Amino acid sequence: MEATNKLLEYGNIIGGTELFEGDKIPIYNKYTNEQIGAVYKADQNVVKNAVTNAVDTFKKIKLSPADRSEILLKTAKLLEMNREVLVHTLVQEVGRTVTDCNTEVDRAINTFTISSEEAKRISGHGVPIEGQKGHENRLSFTVRTPVGVVGAITPFNMPLNLSAHKVGPAVAAGNTVILKPSEVAPITVLKLVKLMKEAGLPDGYLNVVNGFGNETGQYLIEDDRVNMFTFTGSARVGRHIKNSTGIKKVSLELGNNSPTIIHKDAAQIGDIAKLAAQRGFVTANGQACIAVQRLYVHRDIYDEFLSEFVQAAKDLKVGNPADPQTDIGVMISEKEAVRVEKWVEEAVANGAKLECGGKREGTAYYPTVLTNVNADMKVVCEEVFGPVVSVIPYESIDEALQKANDSDYGLQAGIFTTDFNFAMRAVRELDFGGVIINDVSTFRTDAMPYGGIKNSGLGKEGPKYTIEEMTNEKVVVMNL
């Protein structure tokens, strides 16, 4: 793979050919603000051609499950071989630290490895209709067939692994794909696409269109030939995609204002405080859909927890993401950092107490702990998507569950307790797609079913579950 220090241009990829035509979008290093490359913007014609290619390829080139599995495993190996370049590119274009970006590459390798395994296990199930009176002579089962052409749209924050979660299962299921990466961080994804070609993926299986959401993305979602859309991003855009795409499969992985409950019987408060600080401030600089945002802490341990948590936040070093000593890099843009700064200022003006942070330097926002917040403040009821955490006391289990559920979102929640009954009550009563016991809301391993309810989305990711979303289940009935 090419060196990453020179200014590189990336085209749209249609039928395996990279096309360098049209207007360019500059891509910047989010810490130095230097331009590191440019992508060619896909206009409506380019998007149309990409879809035509994906439709034709789906009809003409069929890969066996074993072939798909091999290509995906080879992709995982190539990701490992190109780790250094991928990490370097991620650090530059997303502004996250070297450690954080290495973790993302590890996870993408895992996602492709799991997709490779799952490619060999796609199956339907038996349907015992012979049990129905009058149908004794029938035998029934289901088979899963690929949906056809998948339109995949991905966000900026973890561009490699979140694209892997769409492309890996789509190929495993035998679909062709048109991928539109984020316009602010597309380069790592374009490198992945080239590695998949090197791994043996036939031309046309994975086409890429670059550009802004309201142009390139919009052209893609308006193309009726796409059989399914899979989107990761904000609830605002997710709702728009759902409303615009009519009667077809759509899966949406959207935001969250993730709660974690820390009960009075939780063991090792200091360790929990450090972990919560890591997952609220360090992972993706707080720009993760399941980043710790609301901490509900039992009144009996509130003071002890708060003091440990604030100290853990203050101990984190903010700075150049390329420096291995840095814990927290920068946010994706100054505009986003200013938005977070304004939300914090607004909360403080309305009575919140700033325990630490609240400081911005360009695109860097310092880890910020707020107390004395109320449920109507944006930092509590909306998705902050930055390194800001509110710590809120509670007296009773009922109150903790009610406050954690007081959200338009429902992706994942965490709970620390050694009380088995409370933990199981939380599992039943928390309105979230995932409940994580004795860990924060941020836990995710790539094989598990992952996806939200309410405004957090529709459908599940995790290769096994995405393959279910990306296949049609057909019933077969034999009259014997």
- Interaction between residue 234 and ligand NAD (CB under 6 A): yes
Least CB distance to ligand NAD at residue 424 (A): 25
Residue 158 vs 306, nearer CB to ligand NAD: 158
- Interaction between residue 51 and ligand NAD (CB under 6 A): no
Say if residues 407 and 379 touch (Cβ distance below 8 Å): no
- Interaction between residue 157 and ligand NAD (CB under 6 A): yes
Helix pair 83-94, 159-172: axis angle to 10 deg: 130
Among 30, 180, 298, 464, binds ligand NAD (CB under 6 A): 180
Residues annotated as catalytic are: 253, 289
Residue 396 vs 445, nearer CB to ligand NAD: 445
- Interaction between residue 258 and ligand NAD (CB under 6 A): no
Least CB distance to ligand NAD at residue 450 (A): 7
Least CB distance to ligand NAD at residue 192 (A): 15
- Interaction between residue 156 and ligand NAD (CB under 6 A): yes
Q: Are strands 353-356 and 35-40 parallel, antiparallel or unpaired?
A: unpaired
Taking CB under 6 A as the binding criterion, the range among 167-175, 231-239, 349-357, 468-476 that sits at the site for ligand NAD is 231-239
Structure tokens at 24: 């360019």
- Interaction between residue 249 and ligand NAD (CB under 6 A): no
Q: C-alpha angle 195/200/204, rounded to 5°?
A: 85
Taking CB under 6 A as the binding criterion, the range among 8-16, 176-184, 200-208, 348-356 that sits at the site for ligand NAD is 176-184
Q: Could you give the string, one character per residue 417-456, with x where binding to ligand NAD holds by CB under 6 A and - elsewhere? A: ----------------------------------------
- Interaction between residue 385 and ligand NAD (CB under 6 A): yes
- Interaction between residue 208 and ligand NAD (CB under 6 A): no
Residue 212 vs 443, nearer CB to ligand NAD: 212
CA-based nearest residue to 305, from 329, 271, 331, 269: 269
Residue 64 vs 445, nearer CB to ligand NAD: 445
- Interaction between residue 221 and ligand NAD (CB under 6 A): yes
- Interaction between residue 253 and ligand NAD (CB under 6 A): yes
Among 11, 233, 259, 387, binds ligand NAD (CB under 6 A): 233
CA-based nearest residue to 164, from 81, 91, 217, 107: 107
Question: Considering CB under 6 A, how many residues would be counted as binding ligand NAD?
Answer: 28
CA dihedral 128, 130, 135, 137 (to 10 degrees): 130
Cα–Cα distance for residue pair 146/165, rounded to 1 Å: 16
Residue 154 vs 407, nearer CB to ligand NAD: 154
Least CB distance to ligand NAD at residue 271 (A): 26
Using alpha carbons, list the distances in angstroms from residue 321 to 92, 315, 330.
Answer: 8, 16, 7
Say if residues 30 and 95 touch (Cβ distance below 8 Å): yes
> Footprint of ligand NAD on this chain (CB under 6 A)?
153-157, 162, 180, 182-183, 212-214, 217-218, 221, 232-234, 237, 240-241, 253-255, 289, 383, 385, 411
